[in-house]
Amino acid sequence: VPLGGGMTFRQPNCDDPETEQVAGVAMNYINDNLFQSYKVILNQIDKVKVWNRRPNGEVYELELDTLETTCHALDPTPVENCTVRQVAEHAVEGDCDVQVLKQNGQFTVLTARCDSNPDSAEDVRKVCPNCPLLAQTNDTSVVVAVEKALAAFNAQSNGSYYQLVETSRGQVVPVPPYTYVEFVVAATDCVAKEVTDPAVCKLLAEKQYGFCKGTHIQRLGGEDVKVSCTMFQTQPPAAGSKAGGPGPVVDVAAPTSSPANPAPAAVV
């Protein structure tokens, strides 16, 4: 309530360097505090208001449009190096409301709230009539594909047994019929070759996450499963932030990377 004219705000342009700087601070905060789904990148600044704050400082209120990248939230790759998920892959947009305090030249994110939505089927169809749409992560085909892909990964693991942490996305392709999935796994205290009851396996205190892509083809004569996983550097037990984490490491079971292509992936 504007008592005595104390509550005043200004509205700089959305593309002002000042506004973009604050949006950048907010985007870093959002990605640093994202532990599931995919990293996001700024697409458009929708609105900005700057409130005077007593006794000093200013509070920026921003509405930001974001787009999903193909880097998982746990992937240590800097978001600047991540690819924006294209419309043909069924892009996902986000709307974020953020409040950032600027005081003595320092920025502090006060609040950040984001909601995300996949692009409409019509928009995807306009760009790519035959591209598969995003399926629900609890879709039966997606669930089966993740289970099969994880089982295939564990069958070839020479170390830990890996548990499913998150099904990140799934697409059911009609022709030729197959299901594509992306999911997150984490190492447990069980040895993959010796596990008899996966239910008793517990995640390691030092979390080691991996991001997997898999396909499952169900045929009359059998099935075909493909999976490849990128294992990330272990995270200390009390890790509350992903900042400062080193890059992905090569799994001991992985083939040696060639010097020309030092891919950090552990691929099975």
Contact residues: other proteins, CB under 8 A:
11-15, 19-20, 41-48, 65, 67, 84, 87, 91-93, 119, 123
**Of 24 and 247, which has the nearer Cβ to other proteins?**
24
Beta-sheet strand order (sheet of 209-219)? 160-173, 178-191, 209-219, 222-231
Contact 213, 227 (CB under 8 A): yes
175 to each of 70, 137, 159, 252, how far by Cα in Å?
24, 20, 36, 37
Contact 232, 210 (CB under 8 A): yes
Q: How far is the CB of 68 from other proteins (least distance, A)?
A: 10
Q: How far is the CB of 95 from other proteins (least distance, A)?
A: 10
146 contact partners, CB below 8 Å, separation of at least 6: 164, 167, 170, 181, 183, 214
Q: How far is the CB of 60 from other proteins (least distance, A)?
A: 13
**Of 39 and 216, which has the nearer Cβ to other proteins?**
39
**Of 58 and 147, which has the nearer Cβ to other proteins?**
58
Q: How far is the CB of 267 from other proteins (least distance, A)?
A: 29
Q: How far is the CB of 217 from other proteins (least distance, A)?
A: 30
Q: Is the peptide bond before 262 cis (omega within 30 degrees of 0)?
A: no
**Of 91 and 185, which has the nearer Cβ to other proteins?**
91
**Of 126 and 193, which has the nearer Cβ to other proteins?**
126
85 to each of 7, 79, 104, 119, how far by Cα in Å?
41, 12, 37, 11
Burial label for 195, CB within 10 Å (0-12, 13-18, 19+), is middle
Q: How far is the CB of 65 from other proteins (least distance, A)?
A: 8
**Of 90 and 216, which has the nearer Cβ to other proteins?**
90
